[in-house]
Chains A and B, each alone.
Chain A
Amino acid sequence: MINFILNDKLISTDSPQGMTLLDFVRYEKNLTGTKIGCREGDCGACTVLIGELTDGKMEYLSVTSCITPLGNVNGKHVVSIEGLNMSELTPVQQAMVDEAGTQCGFCTVGFVVSFSGLCLSNKAISYEDVISGIDGNICRCTGYKSIERAGERIYNNLKNKDLTNPVKWLVEQHFIPEYFASIPERIKKLEVSTKITEGKIIVGGGTDLYVQKHDEMEEAEINFVSNNKELKGIHIDGKFCTIGAAATVTELLESEELKKVFPNLRKHLKLISSTQIRNIGTIGGNFVNASPIGDLTVFFIALNSSVVLKNKANNERTILLKDLYKGYKNLDKNADEYISRLQFTITDSSTYFNFEKVSKRTHLDIASVNTGISIKIEENKITEINLSAGGVGPIPLYLKNTCVFLKGKTLEMKTITSAMEIIQTEIAPISDARGTEEYKRLLLRQLFFAHFLELFPATFKEEVIV
């Protein structure tokens, strides 16, 4: 039995917790405003908001309900379009109407809900945020320009938002119905079982496991971990950073502490999926998914990170993330083990980090090739280096030979061109929907060069490889 609030109504349901939130909302509750476009988180037509009570305040995030298990909304507030409608249009809806941001209308609700989620944010919102808030919504009719114009109106409408009590302000401005004000109290009163479910399949956000197999998952025995406090959190302790396996990409993206360590974090992480998926997808999920092209895996291998594996008896062992992968979808992890957290050493100011990714579509796409680098330079010599690459072998690769070669070399073009040849000897890409083998080889060469161009522009900006 799980309890949550759906729009203005209390829900207590025995429906399978593995069922998608989409199926529950649309078919069990007949709230047909939430549409089905792809059932794999790639179109955003099914976007709803999930609100969670944190430090006495509601935090709302947009999610794709097609890959969100019902079990993950226990104790939360779920908002579909029906929960935003009032007799008059909200400023978000009005902006979409005024700018003709809707044509066939099928994707429209997803955009309205995503925009509304942004309005509910407790932080100040830039115009850039408004646009990135709909980066997971696909429209086939409008060409997006009218939706951009609607976004501009919404941005202007939010300029005077009162950040001390946003809900009150939003109710006054008719962005949201009045009942929102009562939600925190009602959430507090919800009886939510804190018992950890004992299913065989560990599910974090569901953003991988639910893709293309929501029907199987509905019947699976699931252990929901995304609310498990033990697996959450980002901590920096001196030179050591620990990130819980259930931390979401959005949590990484918004971590003030991480931002200090990685000034380009936002730029890098925005290349990963979409807002809706980043809001629920976890780092642990990305690691165990074992995709040869996992963005976060490649990112963290380049930081020489370790993962802590825990078993039922609470025994822990720590291994390097790069050693987790033994073969295609084959992990150095026993059946009763799960990833508890990620750890890495924070580098000093002479160490530089970069992440590169190229896909057919720059955003909300799976990489053709991705790569990460952390590199320490002392007196123009490479004294330490970790280099990773995805999409060029059966597992996310740590480019060991290249690293060995580069260590101790002078930071100059000659070094880079020699290393490029070594890279080609330790990768084995295959041709698939994301590109031919030949392309992936060339692309990794290019992205390797891009690392240096990004990190040391003064040295490399005049260089061209042929």
Chain B
Amino acid sequence: MKNIDSRGHVRGESIYLDDIPELRGTLHGVAFDSTCAHGIIKNIDYSKAEKLAGVIKIITSKDIPGQNQIGGIFPDEELLAENEIHFWGQPILLIIAESQKIAFKARKLISITVDELPVIVDAREAKAQNKLVMPPRTFKLGEPKNKWKDCEFIFEGIANSNGQEHLYIETQGAYAVPMENDSIRLYSSTQGPTAVQRITAQVLGIPMHKIEVDVTRLGGGFGGKEDQATTWAVMAALGATLLNRPVKVSLHRMDDMRMTGKRHPYSSDYKIGLSKDLKILAYEATFYQNAGAAADLSPAIMERTLFHATNSYFVPNVEVTAYSCKTNLPPNTAFRGFGGPQGMYVIEAAIAHAAHELKISPREIQEKNLLQNGNEFPYGQIADQVEIGNTWKDAKSKFELEKLEKEVAIFNKENKHFKKGISLMPISFGISFTKTVMNHARALVHIYQDGSIGVSTGAVEMGQGVNTKMVQVAASVFSVNANKIKLETTNTTRVANTSPSAASATADLNGKALEIACNALVKRLIETASKHLGIAISDVKIQDEFVYNKNIKTEWDWKKLIETAFLDRVCLSENGHYATPIIHYNKEIEKGHPFAYHVYGTAITVVTVDCIRGRYEIDALKIVHDFGKSMNTIIDRGQVEGAAVQGIGWMTMEEIIYNAKGKLISNALSTYKIPDIYSVPKELLIEQLETQGHELAILKSKAVGEPPLMYGIGAYFAIQNAVKAFNPNYKLKFDAPFTPEKVLMGLYEKE
């Protein structure tokens, strides 16, 4: 089934935040933000701005009726800075004007004096000064301390990965409309409608039921709108409350890039120990996460780094520790993979390091240590239904790995100015919110008396195709045509207390809830049919919009069935609730069973480096991916392709640059480059691993949003191998992204 939104998308008729027709009297809000990264506000003069024609109000922290507090996990982030500034781009005032243009003009008239304080932009420096968001956490299995003596080879080093700008093409935004009785309807481009509702209530000092959050769709999210859409929604709601007029906040791209957080940069130490036959006996790592100026989601992201520290490998002795370091960057936040990629990159670096020193291919080490059923993860979960070995084996055979390797070797022998590199990247990614309490969802289903069906869930559509999957679930349970089903907007008055659309789990959680609701309705409908047709309940079946009696089609079609049920006063609405079974986690001992299941896969990456110019091209990315039993191969394939390319971007050209004062230098699309059509792999093959799927996945179709991003990590190592092939003096470094600059410097590095 094609994405149900496609038709609207290609015709430009799909409605995004800034496309909602504006109500009469709508005002526009623009944030005035800090132009230094750390300091104490001495004075703000907005008298000129206030006098500008068309400016309605300059809102300061003093105007906030409730708490000036938007922290999602810890209360450590002000909506509008009161006294101390913590990052460059931190909102201080909210300008409300008749048009956005006027508000921008007013912003230029505001002056501020700040007593500047020292700025920290580096995670290790923050750690040295003991500036931490929370105490460090450690996951441990076995006892590496005692194991080093048994290791034949031990390698230590540092691996850095930079941040990543989400670059959703639709910038952040919200539109707040005052309703009667001090209520607000809040349209928000958010992945977390409940978070928006909860924080808005807190800032306005009113109960949550006064705030209705409505989301039609997002023009991309990637985690950037999980927690950080809240700021702008709260601002719009604040303006609307104070002025009793509709207020829209829609960010200019450069404001968005400057004011919002990104993927966390990490700097990490690793130590890996191998036996003579290349078994990883021990692994230690310390992760320094650059959290930015407030906690945001950093604690949860740090946790997932630890969960994925050993990627797809079984290591019997592991000790990994993570520090969430407080710096003066904008608070870094969720980004597809959620800390997992940063952890996986480090163990891959450690393996590449070992292989380099041992003068073997990293794949020899990778292959010898792949997870198997019954292995214990460092966090205590026992691996089962493990597919990593199968994807690895398939990738090798289906894509003729040995032939590819030979081709690369021949090419490198024959070419002086171009070199190829090849790498393998296995992935294992745990599915579920690592915070167990978040793993629940609800769905509300109405069957209208004409037989048409309306479905509401807590899932937010942001391009991942979740709405299409929801239609498929309902259509399959009811056995009706998909055109009978309408997916409603995500709205907190219909589905309350939702978890954000995140962690790749949206379709699983909301789909399971929907399945439960639909099944309950089917049960009532079967009872109705049984009663009226005089057939035993066990013999009634609804199939292809007809009632069947023991596989014999009756006269009753769907319409007739619904009409009768309605006249029988049967409830044609149902609210389904689902909470993932099995999972649990104990933070005290850092052990448990946090994931419903894992997603596995293996990718082969081949690149060509132009050793004269330092440019490179990705020749091929060949993937064997564990989809389970994919319920929608078109959508799932799109997720793999898109995520992998995003991962490649993170590892290659996407370079976030802050200067020492904490100012973002890569602050626009002209200075921050994401992959374009020419920089993606020329060949991108995806093979579906044949499996039975997992019971806890919706229709046995495994979660697919985040895991494939980590295939992109292979690009780093493939490029590195090509650089090695050219320059025997190249000293191995793990400092992603591997920009053309780093490539060229590496190619001509001298001893």
Write out the residue numbers on chain B whose beta carbons fall within 8 Å of the beta carbon of A173. Answer: none
* Cβ A145 vs Cβ B668 within 8 A: no
When each residue 673-708 of chain B gets 1 if its CB lies under 8 Å from chain A and 0 otherwise, what string results?
A: 111111110001000000000000000000000000
B220 and chain A: residue at smallest CB distance: A104
- Give the CA-CA distance A205 to B104 in the complex, in Å: 25
B2 and chain A: residue at smallest CB distance: A97
- Give the CA-CA distance A362 to B678 in the complex, in Å: 8
- Give the CA-CA distance A465 to B612 in the complex, in Å: 9
* Cβ B169 vs Cβ A138 within 8 A: yes
* Cβ A103 vs Cβ B745 within 8 A: no
Write out the residue numbers on chain B whose beta carbons fall within 8 Å of the beta carbon of A89. Answer: 7, 10-11
The interface-forming segment of A186-194, A231-239, A241-249, A433-441 is: A433-441
- Give the CA-CA distance A107 to B12 in the complex, in Å: 10
- Give the CA-CA distance A453 to B418 in the complex, in Å: 13
Q: How many A-B residue pairs have CB under 8 A?
A: 231
Write out the residue numbers on chain A whose beta carbons fall within 8 Å of the beta carbon of B750. Answer: 466
Q: Does B739 contact A (CB under 8 A)?
A: yes
Interface band, chain B? 35 or more
- Give the CA-CA distance A131 to B3 in the complex, in Å: 24
From 115 to 141 in chain A, residues with beta carbon under 8 angstroms from any chain B beta carbon are: 131, 134-135, 137-141
Per a CB cutoff under 8 Å, which of A38, A141, A218, A356 touches B220?
A141
Write out the residue numbers on chain A whose beta carbons fall within 8 Å of the beta carbon of B252. Answer: 39
* Cβ B416 vs Cβ A140 within 8 A: no
* Cβ B170 vs Cβ A104 within 8 A: yes
- Give the CA-CA distance A215 to B416 in the complex, in Å: 51
Per a CB cutoff under 8 Å, which of A98, A146, A450 touches B612?
A450
* Cβ B638 vs Cβ A146 within 8 A: yes
From 437 to 466 in chain A, residues with beta carbon under 8 angstroms from any chain B beta carbon are: 438-439, 442-443, 446-447, 449-450, 453, 461-462, 464-466
Given A100-B634, A104-B170, is A446 in contact with B675 using a C-beta cutoff of 8 Å? no
Q: Does B214 contact A (CB under 8 A)?
A: no
A37 and chain B: residue at smallest CB distance: B169
Given A135-B677, A360-B740, is A104 in contact with B218 using a C-beta cutoff of 8 Å? yes
* Cβ A35 vs Cβ B16 within 8 A: yes
Q: Does B39 contact A (CB under 8 A)?
A: no
Per a CB cutoff under 8 Å, which of B10, B19, B254, B744 touches A442?
B744
Shortest A98–chain B CB gap in Å is: 8
* Cβ B641 vs Cβ A145 within 8 A: yes
When each residue 635-678 of chain B gets 1 if its CB lies under 8 Å from chain A and 0 otherwise, what string results?
A: 10110011111100000010101000000011011110111111
Write out the residue numbers on chain B whose beta carbons fall within 8 Å of the beta carbon of A211. Answer: 670
* Cβ B670 vs Cβ A366 within 8 A: yes
* Cβ A143 vs Cβ B642 within 8 A: yes
Write out the residue numbers on chain A whose beta carbons fall within 8 Å of the beta carbon of B612. Answer: 446, 449-450, 453
- Give the CA-CA distance A61 to B618 in the complex, in Å: 31
* Cβ B169 vs Cβ A100 within 8 A: no
* Cβ A140 vs Cβ B220 within 8 A: yes
- Give the CA-CA distance A35 to B8 in the complex, in Å: 14
* Cβ A97 vs Cβ B6 within 8 A: yes
Q: Does B219 contact A (CB under 8 A)?
A: yes
Given A212-B668, A360-B739, is A100 in contact with B635 using a C-beta cutoff of 8 Å? yes
Tell me the dominant secondary structure on chain A's binding face: loop
When each residue 274-292 of chain B gets 1 if its CB lies under 8 Å from chain A and 0 otherwise, what string results?
A: 0000000000000000000
The interface-forming segment of A40-48, A299-307, A312-320, A326-334 is: A40-48
Per a CB cutoff under 8 Å, which of A42, A103, A142 touches B670?
A42
Shortest A277–chain B CB gap in Å is: 11
- Give the CA-CA distance A108 to B217 in the complex, in Å: 14
- Give the CA-CA distance A33 to B18 in the complex, in Å: 11
- Give the CA-CA distance A362 to B614 in the complex, in Å: 11
Given A108-B10, A436-B741, is A360 in contact with B674 using a C-beta cutoff of 8 Å? no
Per a CB cutoff under 8 Å, which of B10, B615, B674 touches A97?
B10
* Cβ A215 vs Cβ B104 within 8 A: yes
* Cβ A142 vs Cβ B642 within 8 A: yes
* Cβ A104 vs Cβ B463 within 8 A: yes
Write out the residue numbers on chain B whose beta carbons fall within 8 Å of the beta carbon of A432. Answer: 665
When each residue 613-647 of chain B gets 1 if its CB lies under 8 Å from chain A and 0 otherwise, what string results?
A: 11100000000000000000011011001111110
Q: Does B465 contact A (CB under 8 A)?
A: yes
From 137 to 159 in chain A, residues with beta carbon under 8 angstroms from any chain B beta carbon are: 137-148
* Cβ B3 vs Cβ A100 within 8 A: yes
From 1 to 45 in chain B, residues with beta carbon under 8 angstroms from any chain A beta carbon are: 2-3, 5-16, 18-19, 21
Q: Does B147 contact A (CB under 8 A)?
A: no
Q: Does A346 contact B (CB under 8 A)?
A: no
From 1 to 40 in chain A, residues with beta carbon under 8 angstroms from any chain B beta carbon are: 30, 32-40
* Cβ B677 vs Cβ A148 within 8 A: yes
Write out the residue numbers on chain A whose beta carbons fall within 8 Å of the beta carbon of B5. Answer: 102, 105
* Cβ B675 vs Cβ A93 within 8 A: no
When each residue 40-72 of chain A gets 1 if its CB lies under 8 Å from chain B and 0 otherwise, what string results?
A: 101101000000000000000000000000000
* Cβ B670 vs Cβ A143 within 8 A: no
Write out the residue numbers on chain B whose beta carbons fall within 8 Å of the beta carbon of A363. Answer: 676, 678-679
- Give the CA-CA distance A106 to B9 in the complex, in Å: 7
Given A100-B634, A145-B684, is A461 in contact with B416 using a C-beta cutoff of 8 Å? yes
A105 and chain B: residue at smallest CB distance: B9
When each residue 574-615 of chain B gets 1 if its CB lies under 8 Å from chain A and 0 otherwise, what string results?
A: 000000000000000000000000000000000000001111
Interface band, chain A? 35 or more
* Cβ B745 vs Cβ A442 within 8 A: yes
- Give the CA-CA distance A219 to B376 in the complex, in Å: 66
Write out the residue numbers on chain B whose beta carbons fall within 8 Å of the beta carbon of A112. Answer: 10, 12
Q: Does B462 contact A (CB under 8 A)?
A: yes
- Give the CA-CA distance A215 to B671 in the complex, in Å: 21
When each residue 176-206 of chain A gets 1 if its CB lies under 8 Å from chain B and 0 otherwise, what string results?
A: 0000000000000000000000000000000
* Cβ B674 vs Cβ A138 within 8 A: yes
Write out the residue numbers on chain B whose beta carbons fall within 8 Å of the beta carbon of A43. Answer: 169, 669
Q: Does A82 contact B (CB under 8 A)?
A: yes
* Cβ B6 vs Cβ A443 within 8 A: no
Q: Does B168 contact A (CB under 8 A)?
A: yes
- Give the CA-CA distance A399 to B613 in the complex, in Å: 20
Per a CB cutoff under 8 Å, which of B254, B463, B678 touches A135?
B678
A39 and chain B: residue at smallest CB distance: B253
Write out the residue numbers on chain B whose beta carbons fall within 8 Å of the beta carbon of A361. Answer: 653, 673, 675-676, 679
- Give the CA-CA distance A436 to B614 in the complex, in Å: 14
* Cβ B679 vs Cβ A358 within 8 A: no
From 393 to 441 in chain A, residues with beta carbon under 8 angstroms from any chain B beta carbon are: 432-436, 438-439
Write out the residue numbers on chain B whose beta carbons fall within 8 Å of the beta carbon of A360. Answer: 653, 655, 673, 739-741
- Give the CA-CA distance A218 to B101 in the complex, in Å: 10
* Cβ A433 vs Cβ B679 within 8 A: no
* Cβ B668 vs Cβ A36 within 8 A: no
B461 and chain A: residue at smallest CB distance: A104
* Cβ A103 vs Cβ B669 within 8 A: no
Per a CB cutoff under 8 Å, which of A32, A140, A443, A453 touches B674?
A140
From 205 to 239 in chain B, residues with beta carbon under 8 angstroms from any chain A beta carbon are: 217-222
Shortest A450–chain B CB gap in Å is: 5
* Cβ B684 vs Cβ A143 within 8 A: yes
Q: Does B413 contact A (CB under 8 A)?
A: no
* Cβ B668 vs Cβ A38 within 8 A: yes
Shortest B613–chain A CB gap in Å is: 5
Write out the residue numbers on chain B whose beta carbons fall within 8 Å of the beta carbon of A108. Answer: 9-10, 12
Q: Does A81 contact B (CB under 8 A)?
A: yes
Q: Does B464 contact A (CB under 8 A)?
A: yes
Chain A interfacial positions (CB closer than 8 Å to B)? 30, 32-40, 42-43, 45, 80-82, 85, 89, 92-93, 96-98, 100, 102-109, 112, 131, 134-135, 137-148, 211-212, 215, 218, 356, 358-366, 368, 432-436, 438-439, 442-443, 446-447, 449-450, 453, 461-462, 464-466
Q: Which 7 A-B residue pairs are closest in the complex by CB-CB distance? A: A33-B12, A104-B463, A106-B219, A105-B9, A143-B645, A42-B669, A103-B463
**Can you pick out 27 interface pairs between chain A and chain B where the beta carbons lie within 8 Å of each other?**
A39-B252, A81-B11, A85-B12, A96-B10, A97-B2, A100-B638, A102-B9, A103-B3, A103-B463, A103-B465, A105-B5, A105-B14, A106-B16, A131-B677, A140-B169, A140-B222, A143-B684, A147-B677, A218-B101, A358-B614, A358-B615, A359-B740, A368-B740, A433-B657, A439-B745, A443-B741, A462-B416
